[in-house]
Structure 1
């Protein structure tokens, strides 16, 4: 499990994927999300602008990111 610290109250899902080095570009993040490869708190998420807050878990192909403050 990888922990990502954010300074703000929220971060958009596509930005989190780039910050965590799961996506190299915004376009790559968009593709991953649209293809159903990303789960937020165990549910497949298709909105790249989904607001992620501390305590949320995001998983990509079995790798889990936990967002902390």
Structure 2
């Protein structure tokens, strides 16, 4: 599934081992979602149900950025 992200380095200017470790960590992480974010997205999608999908996504992001609490 991640083959499209494969990259073969052309030189040694970069710490490829560190990047590989980071990529492995990202691929193995457990996906999570914040309950508050999920509620805001649901609210936005219900409120703007008649809008095109791209507009709904934009309005949902706007709602998240304006209403979500920052810990």
- TM-score of the aligned structures, taking structure 1 as reference length: 0.24
User: Which structure has more helix as a fraction of its residues?
Assistant: 2
User: Which is higher, the Rg of structure 1 or of structure 2?
Assistant: 2
- TM-score of the aligned structures, taking structure 2 as reference length: 0.24
User: Which structure has more strand as a fraction of its residues?
Assistant: 1
